[in-house]
Amino acid sequence: MVRLPEPQQDGAVSLEAALAQRRSVRSYKDKTLSLAQVARLLWAAQGQTHPSGFRTAPSAGATYPLELYVAAGDVEGLEPGVYRYRPKDHTLILLRAGDVRRAVARASFGQDWAADAAALFIIAADFKRTTGRYGDRGEGYVFMEAGCASQNIALEAVALGLGSVIVGAFDDAGVKAAAGLPEKERPLLYMPVGVPD
């Protein structure tokens, strides 16, 4: 288990400035991310904000179907590998050792540039958590939640002086196999994050 640094919640960049500066970035410098930066990005997407379990991104009926992973390749203090984020205690659990960025990019229909980012943030979902309560309508709620979480990552990346982009064009089975995701989870998107080139 990796204990993450507590996320700073009073950054110097205003929400309005982050919104104005957010752009899709597909070219990254060969620079390392700090563990503190990764912690802030994870917290922005799915961090727990209340003792009852509420998180930074809204969730229909607080069913929390999303699972968040970081495929670390060049992160200070993290061995290369895929880590599951645990919002309750703001920690990471190693899921798969080794750098999988190139394998994930290969499953993304020619988007090889994605492997140049220091880390890939993968958002997957266990749909049954939400569809069990809301039926088929719950599928849409899961996608809405993924959109909220990914926008939070994009805005936090701007606040940290980093670049990101949402990648949705990929072979589900290929990304799932590369990252070693559990059978019951479906990858919805991933976000390369790094220092913009």
pLDDT tens for the 197 residues of the chain, in order: 999 999 888 889 999 999 999 999 999 999 999 999 999 999 999 999 999 999 999 999 999 999 999 999 999 999 999 999 999 999 999 999 999 999 999 999 999 999 999 999 999 999 999 999 999 999 999 999 999 999 999 999 999 999 999 999 999 999 999 999 999 999 999 999 999 99
Q: Is residue 156 part of a domain?
A: yes
Using the CB atoms, write b or e for 148-177: b if 16+ within 10 Å: bbbbbbbbbbbbbebbbbbbeebeeebbbe
What pLDDT is attached to residue 41?
Answer: 98
Q: Is residue 115 part of a domain?
A: yes
Q: Is residue 80 part of a domain?
A: yes
> Which amino acid type is present at position 71?
A
Q: Output the six-digit token pair for 136.
A: 């088929």
What pLDDT is attached to residue 8?
Answer: 84
Q: Is residue 14 part of a domain?
A: no
Cα–Cα nearest to 76, from 152, 164, 2, 180:
2
What pLDDT is attached to residue 7?
Answer: 86
What pLDDT is attached to residue 18?
Answer: 97
Q: Is residue 1 part of a domain?
A: no
Query: pTM of the predicted model, to two decimals?
Result: 0.97
Q: Is residue 9 part of a domain?
A: no
| CATH, residue 172 | 3.40.109.10
Domain that holds residue 135: 21-194
Q: Is residue 124 part of a domain?
A: yes
User: What sections of 97-136 are H helices per DSSP?
Assistant: 101-106, 128-134
Separation CA 119–CA 31 (nearest Å): 11
With beta carbons less than 8 A apart as the criterion, state whether 175 and 68 touch: no
With beta carbons less than 8 A apart as the criterion, state whether 196 and 169 touch: no
Task: Please enumerate in sequence order all residues whose Cβ is within 8 A of that of 96, keeping only pairs 6 or more positions apart, or say none.
Answer: 81, 82, 179, 180
Sign of dihedral through CA atoms 171, 173, 179, 185? positive
Task: Please enumerate in sequence order all residues whose Cβ is within 8 A of that of 135, keeping only pairs 6 or more positions apart, or say none.
Answer: none
Strand residue runs (E) in 30-109: 66-72, 81-86, 91-97
Separation CA 59–CA 114 (nearest Å): 28
Q: Is residue 11 part of a domain?
A: no
Count: domains in the chain: 1
